[in-house]
Structure formats: structure tokens, C-alpha cells
């Protein structure tokens, strides 16, 4: 059994760490907030800092919100880097900048350790069910060593390439998700304004070429007007920001990613930073002066 560290025990990190403990591994944990009681009750050891976690564990996982949080968890005073010894492995499972990731990897590698970027897709549901998709960047030997831990947290686990490529893959994922939410929103809005029942339209389309998980899950949220997160608009804005900054650095244009970001910005301007990302449709509805399903609701 491995000695594993886990830093960042929020919506995603707490259930992921729980699976590692259930898998029988020694678990050392740290969060800026108090550590969840059920994790400690299951035998996880609460540490006072990232440095302590890294002193005890051989594989140290981070699952924090954004690039500056990973920077702080690894390199601030009493952070992970201060507790590392050569041979240890740092695994960042947060969704953060691919460019900064390469710099973090270089700094960790200079300490004689290995670094994997391993962001996930699948949300809170996937974290709890241990069915996450995990997109990994880094050296093959480190990947092979950490794979048994990934297997306890996820199902579809791919070594995409070198450091940064896991995060690049995650940004690509978030581009597809945002543009598909936008497409589903436009389609259901069009159908509803034209007088068709959007619930029936969604049902019919689920059997055809336009079927997708997003038409299924997010389309249903649009029809049922249920915009509790799920995945918060503010987190998707962070991810599209990474896409648009990356595109600028690469000298390419991502026109529809930019449009989706503007639609999220419009939602945020209306108080929607914490709405589920399917609520992007609300920005489209404002422009159309029509709410999906309003004809049916008016008819009673």
C-alpha cells in the first residue's frame, strides 16, 4: 500500500480522497478549511501544512480551485516543495493553466521528483462514483506508479503526453462542453419560440445524430428551469479564460469559445456566477426576449 497525500478536500477532493482511503492506502490530508470529519474517522491523518503532507507521503495529490492555489500549495512557505525528497511524485488534479503547469513540473523535477498533471472530467457525481475521466501529462514511469491510485478514482484514464498535455486536454474538453451547451440552448430556444414543445423536441433529438450527453443532461435543465450547480459558471469562465489566453499565446483564433465566454459574462452580470453552466441559455433568452417553454407554461 502507498503513502498518499491529498491537499484540497472540497466538492471533488473529499470523495476522491475517500476512495483512496477505502482502497487501503495510508492517507495524509491538508486543507485551508477544517478536514471533513468522515475522512479523519476513516483513518486519514490530518496534517498542519502541505510540507507535513509531503514529509509523510510518497505520492502527493493536489485538488484546489485555480493556478494561484496550486502555486501556493506547492511553493508557498510550508508548502509541498519544502517537504519533498528525491523520488517522490506530485500529482496535480486541479484544472489549471497548461503553461504554468509546465513551469511547476520543471521546478518539481529539479528537486529530483516527478510531476503529473491529471485533471478530471465527470463532476461531483463522477468523483463520488469513482467514475472520473482522468487526462494525464507527464513521464511514463510516474504514470505507471500512480495508475493504481487513478484506478480507484476514475474509469477512463489516459496518458495524453508530456507535462502540460493533461491540462491542454482538459481545456479542449471545456471548449467542447461550452460550445455544445450553446448549441443546445440555441436549438431549444428556436424550437420553443417557433411554438414547438421543447421537452418533446429534446426527446425526439435524443434518438438522432444530434444526441449528446449535453442535450440529455443540460437540455433537460434548460427545459425544467433547474440551474442549481452542478458546475458553476465561474469555474467554466476560468477554463475558457485558459483557452482564450492559450489561443492568444499560440496566435490562433477561437471565435465561438470567445462568444461562449461573453454569454457566461452576461450571466455573471445578471448575478449568475454560481448558476449551473447550463444557464448560459439565459443570456440567449434575454437576446431573444423569449424563455424556453414559456408558451407551454402560459397555456397551463
**What is the smallest separation between the CB atom of 201 and ligand NAD, expressed in angstroms?**
27
CB neighbours (10 Å) of residue 287?
10
* 18 lines the binding site for ligand NAD (CB under 6 A): no
**What is the smallest separation between the CB atom of 16 and ligand NAD, expressed in angstroms?**
9
Exactly one of 100, 124, 151, 220 binds ligand NAD (CB under 6 A); that residue is 124
Buried b (16+ CB within 10 A) or exposed e, 84-107: beeebbbbbbbbbbbebbbebbee
- Residue 102 appears among annotated catalytic residues: no
**What is the smallest separation between the CB atom of 49 and ligand NAD, expressed in angstroms?**
9
CB distance 24 to 77 below 8 Å? no
* 10 lines the binding site for ligand NAD (CB under 6 A): yes
**What is the smallest separation between the CB atom of 94 and ligand NAD, expressed in angstroms?**
4
Residues between 31 and 90 that touch ligand NAD (CB under 6 A): 31-33, 63-65, 69, 72-73
Exactly one of 4, 5, 6, 9 binds ligand NAD (CB under 6 A); that residue is 9
CA-to-CA distance for 233 and 106, rounded, in angstroms? 31
C-alpha cell at 209: 445524430
Residues between 223 and 242 that touch ligand NAD (CB under 6 A): 231, 235
Stretch that binds ligand NAD, among 82-90, 119-127, 189-197, 266-274 (CB under 6 A): 119-127
**What is the smallest separation between the CB atom of 259 and ligand NAD, expressed in angstroms?**
21
* 274 lines the binding site for ligand NAD (CB under 6 A): no
Active-site entry in 77, 103, 147, 170? 170
* 175 lines the binding site for ligand NAD (CB under 6 A): no
* 11 lines the binding site for ligand NAD (CB under 6 A): yes
C-alpha cell at 263: 454569454
* 7 lines the binding site for ligand NAD (CB under 6 A): yes
CA-to-CA distance for 161 and 175, rounded, in angstroms? 19
∠ CA(210), CA(170), CA(117), 5° rounding?
Answer: 155
* 94 lines the binding site for ligand NAD (CB under 6 A): yes
CA-to-CA distance for 252 and 230, rounded, in angstroms? 31
Q: How would you class 198 by CB atoms within 10 Å of its CB: exposed for 0-12, middle for 13-18, buried for 19 or more?
A: buried
Tally helices (H) and strands (E) across the chain. 15, 9
In the complex, residue closest to ligand NAD by CB = 10
**Contacts (Cβ under 8 Å, ≥6 apart) of 253:** 247
Residue numbers at the binding site for ligand NAD (CB under 6 A): 7-13, 30-33, 63-65, 69, 72-73, 94-95, 120-121, 123-124, 231, 235
The catalytic site residues sit at 170
Amino acid at each position: 500500500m502507498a503513502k498518499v497525500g491529498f491537499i484540497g478536500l472540497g466538492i471533488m477532493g473529499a470523495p476522491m480522497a475517500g476512495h483512496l482511503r477505502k482502497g487501503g492506502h495510508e492517507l495524509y490530508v491538508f486543507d485551508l478549511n477544517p478536514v471533513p470529519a468522515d475522512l479523519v474517522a476513516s483513518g486519514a491523518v490530518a496534517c498542519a501544512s502541505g510540507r507535513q503532507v509531503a514529509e509523510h507521503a510518497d505520492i502527493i495529490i493536489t485538488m484546489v480551485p485555480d493556478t494561484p492555489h496550486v502555486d501556493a500549495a506547492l511553493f508557498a512557505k510550508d508548502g509541498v516543495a519544502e517537504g519533498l525528497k528525491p523520488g517522490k511524485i506530485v500529482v496535480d488534479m486541479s484544472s489549471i493553466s497548461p503553461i504554468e503547469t509546465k513551469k511547476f513540473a520543471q521546478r518539481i523535477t529539479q528537486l529530483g521528483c516527478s510531476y503529473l498533471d491529471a485533471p478530471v472530467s465527470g463532476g461531483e457525481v463522477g468523483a463520488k462514483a469513482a467514475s472520473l475521466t482522468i487526462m494525464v501529462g507527464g513521464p511514463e514511469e510516474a504514470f505507471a506508479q500512480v495508475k493504481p491510485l487513478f484506478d480507484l478514482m476514475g474509469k477512463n484514464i489516459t496518458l495524453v503526453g508530456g507535462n502540460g498535455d493533461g491540462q491542454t486536454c482538459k481545456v479542449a474538453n471545456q471548449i467542447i462542453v461550452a460550445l455544445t451547451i450553446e448549441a443546445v440552448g440555441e436549438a431549444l430556444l428556436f424550437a420553443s419560440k417557433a411554438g414547438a414543445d421543447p421537452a418533446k423536441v429534446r426527446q425526439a433529438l435524443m434518438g438522432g445524430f444530434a444526441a449528446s450527453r449535453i442535450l440529455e443532461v443540460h437540455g433537460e435543465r434548460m427545459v425544467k428551469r433547474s440551474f442549481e450547480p452542478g458546475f458553476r459558471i465561474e469555474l467554466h469562465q476560468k477554463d475558457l479564460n485558459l483557452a482564450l489566453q492559450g489561443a492568444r499565446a499560440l496566435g490562433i483564433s477561437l471565435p465561438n469559445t470567445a462568444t461562449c465566454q461573453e454569454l457566461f459574462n452576461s450571466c455573471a452580470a445578471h448575478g449568475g456566477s454560481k448558476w449551473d453552466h447550463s444557464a448560459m441559455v439565459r443570456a440567449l433568452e434575454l437576446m431573444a426576449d423569449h424563455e424556453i417553454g414559456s408558451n407551454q407554461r402560459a397555456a397551463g
